[in-house]
Amino acid sequence: MVDSGIRTTKGRGRLFDSILDTIGDTPVIRVNNLGPDHVTIYVKAEAFNPAASVKDRLAVNIIEAAERDGRLKPGQTVVEATSGNTGIGLAMVCAQKGYPLVVTMADSFSVERRRLMRMLGAKVVLTPRAEKGLGMYKKAEELAKANGWFLAHQFETADNADIHAATTAQEILADFDGQKLDYLVTGYGTGGTVTGIARVLRDKRPDTKIILSEPANAQIVGGGHSQERSADGAPAVSHPDFEPHPIQGWTPDFIPLVLQEAIDKNYYDELIPIAGPDGIVAARALAAKEGIFTGISGGSTFAVSLQIAANAAPGSVILCMLPDTGERYLTTPLFEGIPEDMDDEERAISNSTPGYQMG
């Protein structure tokens, strides 16, 4: 048979018992048109998870670990505070497994996130934006205590970082087996990604430098102030160095206990802050120049990766974590200036032939 040159596929070689079995094994993709020529940048595109974010991983593990040890009873309502992606992941998991889900979320986060959760069957309870992340967190605690619901505890539970050590880190090891990997770049929300990956890479790939990032105007790790906590590790107060920032999903107004492990054990080699507008520029560049669609958090991580790339030794290889898809950000500054109607150039294209023109 003559090779036509057309792309072909072979299928995954298996049938899946549920949507939850498709979580993980996200692709590592080379960046070809952005960044300096003397280095190679890859991105790990977590939007390929079934609910389109890295938080699908912790969502399924929190529920299944609680099922295994009896903390979660059949039919019990699950409740959690989230900026969106964990809630969407939990909504997918709970829909498949038959658990009612109530999400608490500050009303500052994008409208499409709450609509997605409701589409997946969850109830979304909004909290005042002035109370920040701690307000939605305390509301979830109140609801769990008052109703006997299962609180997912994404910011404290060991089930969070454990799943990244068991899946995300193992995928990176397999994909870079026999290959260079000089830098891994990630931001943090709960801290599960950096903590879980670093546990493994510190042992298996100790030469890989781990770069952590946070918003330039909300440097709660870089500021050096410790987090006040309750006896169970939950945040007791908002962190003094927090300010509102546009990188949704990153950096709540407290240092999560899951992230504290990475801080205490020196799991990252450098902490690089990034301004939200720079993340937006980088996310737009990834979309327009690479066809890779990510949100402000992914754009911010990529912007830091470009900074690393500019100063890295020739031949360096950088892996950038992209947490989610840009479709979570339609009503955020990421899409400001992106018009709904035709612009002048598009109108000129339309008018260049006589038919089928808009009035």
Whether the CB-CB separation of 327 and 54 falls below 8 Å is answered with no
Rounded mean pLDDT of the chain? 96
Let me know if 55 is a catalytic residue: yes
pTM of the model as a whole: 0.95
| Cross-strand bridge partners of residue 185 | 211, 320
Q: What pLDDT, on a 0 to 100 scale, did the predictor assign at position 4?
A: 78
Whether the CB-CB separation of 44 and 320 falls below 8 Å is answered with yes
Query: What CATH number was assigned to the domain covering residues 55-151?
Result: 3.40.50.1100
Query: Could you tell me the residue ranges of all domains in the chain?
Result: 19-50+169-335, 55-151
Q: Is the pLDDT of residue 359 over 80?
A: no
Q: What is the mean pLDDT of residues 210-234?
A: 95
Active-site option among 53, 297, 300, 305: 297
Helix axes 85-97, 111-119, angle to 10 degrees: 10
Same fold, 19-50+169-335 and 55-151: yes
* Residue-wise pLDDT tens digits, 277-307: 999 999 999 999 999 999 999 999 999 999 9
Say which amino acid occupies 335: F
Active-site option among 44, 55, 132, 139: 55
Rounded to 10 degrees, what is the CA torsion of 268, 272, 275, 278?
Answer: -90
Domain spanning 19-50+169-335: CATH 3.30.70.260: no
Joined together, the tokens standing for residue 288 give 């327009």
Give the H/E segment covering residue 17. Answer: none
* Residue-wise pLDDT tens digits, 128-177: 999 998 999 999 999 999 999 999 999 999 999 999 999 999 999 999 99
How long, in residues, is the chain?
359
Evaluate the CA torsion angle 107, 108, 112, 114 in order and state its sign: negative
Q: Is the pLDDT of residue 192 over 60?
A: yes
8-state DSSP, 229: B
Distance between CA atoms of 331 and 310, rounded to whole angstroms?
32
Let me know if 73 is a catalytic residue: no
Say which amino acid occupies 42: Y
